[in-house]
Each structure stands twice: as C-alpha cells, then as structure tokens.
Structure 1
Amino acid sequence: MHTDTDTETAPPGSGELTFRDAVEDDVPTLLALIQSAYRGDDSRRGWTTEADLLGGGRTDARGVRAIIDAPDSRLLVVLREGMTIACCQLERRGDVAYFGLFAVRPELQGGGLGRRVIAEAERTAREGWGTREMQMTVISVREELIAWYERRGYRRTGELSPFPYGDETCGEPFRDDLAFELLVKDLTVR
C-alpha cells in the first residue's frame, strides 16, 4: 500500500490519500462511485460526465468483480480519511498496462485529484510490473477528456475500436457515432 503525503492540491483539512487494491466488500461503493462520475444527474456536477452520450450503467457488479478477481489485474481504490473518493483499473498485458474504469467523485473533480491518481497508477504499473507503456481507450468524441489526457503525456493513436452497441453493461448510447480511440503513454520517459 502506498500513501501519498502530498496534499497541496487537496482541499484544506481533507487529509492524505491512501491507495489500496479493491476487495469484494468494495463492490457496492465502487459501483456507486463509477456511476456518479459518468452517468445520470449526479455526474453533471463533474466535468467527466457521459450523461449526454450514454444512459444506463457504466458497468455492473459482475464487471467490477471480474477486474478484482482477474490475474494481472488490479482495481485501485483511493481513500481520503476512510472515504472512497476515486478508483482506477490497471491490467498487465505483457510490458504494457491498460488503464481504465477511472472515476473521481464529481464534487472533487477539477482540483488535481485525478492527476494524482493517474500518476500513482503509472508509478504502480512501472515499478510493480516493469511496464513500459500505459494504454487506455476513450470515447473518441470526448475531446475535452482526451485533451486532459494529452496534457498528462498521453498520445492519440488514431486507432479506433467500435463501441459495443447492444451490450447493456456498457450503457445505452444516445448517438450512433461512438467509437473508442486508443491513447498511449511511454512510461520510460519521466
């Protein structure tokens, strides 16, 4: 477990961040966090909302459990003063790590917490697994989100994969032009 003691970007009195691997008992809390960050009215309090693109759930309990239980996979839980405030998925794929299911409580978005979480995820993948590259997929029409990742050193590849229309575990699309774009970052350069 790694504790981040740099609290300069945290609201006053908010305490240190603690990172740990998710366990089965975290599933309900993580589902609520992920849903609140991406879908529904609660997500509109933050800037990462997908509520205008997709309805329904972002994932389900089975999907979260699959990440927790899978070999070469971690679901990092981020806590402040015992409260779950963010999470992200890491999956080892050889010398590459996949980053996904990134969620920050909507009311805490925009204050630097996301930067700290992604930096810890990169450190964890690089130091724990010897990962040379981080990959992720982002809905290609999410220009503001992609720009945020680019400011963190990620590069657009132009490589698109289809959105899984008809898969209810991915949500109910409101548009017919959704696709995922692969973003990559070289973790050997700091």
Structure 2
Amino acid sequence: MESAAVHGLTFRDATDADVDTLVALIESAYRGDSSRVGWTTEADILQGQRTDPQGVLSVIKAPDSRLLTVERDGTVVACCQLERRDTHAYFGMFAVSPALQGSGLGKVIIAEAERQVRESWGAREMHMTVISARDDLIAWYERRGYRRTGHMTPFPYGDERFGIPQRDDLQFELLVKELA
C-alpha cells in the first residue's frame, strides 16, 4: 500500500532496510530499562528479547502481512503488524517509542490500522492477543472498543525468542473488535 499522512504522521509498509530500526524500537518499548520510560513495558514479567531481525523480516516478507511503519519528521516512532486472516485481520507487534507513549499517538495509529484493513482487505474484525496479566494494556484496548473473549493460548515457555518469563502464569488472551 502507498504511504498515507495522518495527524502529522506518515504510514508506510516496512522494507528490509527498516529491520534494525524496527527491532530497536520494539525492544525499547517492551524490554529493559528504556521501556520503563513508557507504560507498555513488560520488563517486570519478561526479560530477554521481544523480537529479533529474523522475526521482523518474516513479518515484512510473509504473504498477506504488512509491518506498518509510522514516521514523524522522517524518524520511525511506531510500528504494528497487520495480517489478513480470512474475514478478519490480526494486529500485533505494536510498538510506540517510549518517550512518546501517553501522548495519544497509539490511539491514532490503531485507528489508522483499523481503517486500512477494513478498506484494503474488507476485514470485518480486528483480532489481537495480549498477555492476560497486562490489565492496564487490556483496559487501554477495551477503551478503543476491543472486547475480551476469555479465549486463552499458552505462552511459549522455553522459547527464548519470545523472552525469558519472570513468572509461571503467563498466557495470551484473544481480544476482538468489530470493524463495521
């Protein structure tokens, strides 16, 4: 898809050249001390990596998948994965620069992602999975119209590509929003 400008932001599909920048952004939003600047940190429940270059590149290269990259003044400030799955789209790998979290940027980005999958793919729903222990994050998505389904999937314990869990009760909950 072509790039679009919304609220002073430029939205475009990631390319191979963006991989290192996007890995650094995702890691900064979720892991380590830098993530504690923002409110989306997972540093207390997961250590190790959140993603790696291979993981980001696989999203960029996968059929029916996009890694939407968001820039402000030529600097990458956010990203999210969009994947077409039958009549719905999957939303994942959402990261906003920790210094910009809480500024309303996330609301603008998720609304634009929803608009794009509805208009480009005809998606009727957006699905995502969130670590069920992340009550603050789930509440944020609920304020955006997502609903908890109670459908849980296990966390991939033992696969350090997804991080090193600091507790033994992690699982993912499916959240769904109708895109009417």
Give TM-score, length-normalised by structure 1: 0.93
For residue 22 of structure 1, what is the aligned residue in structure 2?
14
Partner Cα distance (2:145, 2:172) in 1 = 18
Q: Does 1:82 align with 2:74?
A: yes
One-letter amino acid matched to 1:85: V
Q: Does 1:162 align with 2:154?
A: yes
Which runs of structure 2 are paired with 1:52-67 in the superposition (5 Å)?
A: 52-67=44-59
For residue 140 of structure 2, what is the aligned residue in structure 1?
148
Partner Cα distance (1:81, 1:114) in 2 = 17
Unaligned runs of 5+ in 2: none
For residue 24 of structure 2, what is the aligned residue in structure 1?
32
Partner Cα distance (2:17, 2:4) in 1 = 20
Deviations along 1:94-125, one digit per CA (max 9) or x if unpaired, are: 11100000000001000100000000100010
Q: Does 1:72 align with 2:64?
A: yes
One-letter amino acid matched to 1:119: A
Partner Cα distance (1:106, 1:59) in 2 = 17
SS at structure 2 position matched to 1:99: strand
For residue 10 of structure 1, what is the aligned residue in structure 2?
none
Percent of residue pairs identical: 68
Q: How many residues align?
A: 178
For residue 128 of structure 2, what is the aligned residue in structure 1?
136
**2:5 pairs with one of 3, 6, 25:** 3
One-letter amino acid matched to 1:93: R
Q: Does 1:116 align with 2:83?
A: no
Partner Cα distance (1:92, 1:70) in 2 = 10
For residue 12 of structure 1, what is the aligned residue in structure 2?
none
Stretches of 4+ aligned residues off by more than 3 angstroms: none
Give TM-score, length-normalised by structure 2: 0.98
For residue 45 of structure 1, what is the aligned residue in structure 2?
37
Aligned residues: CA RMSD: 0.4
Partner Cα distance (1:30, 1:59) in 2 = 10
Deviations along 1:18-48, one digit per CA (max 9) or x if unpaired, are: 0000000000000000000000000000000
Query: Shift in Å at residue 167 of structure 1?
Result: 0.7
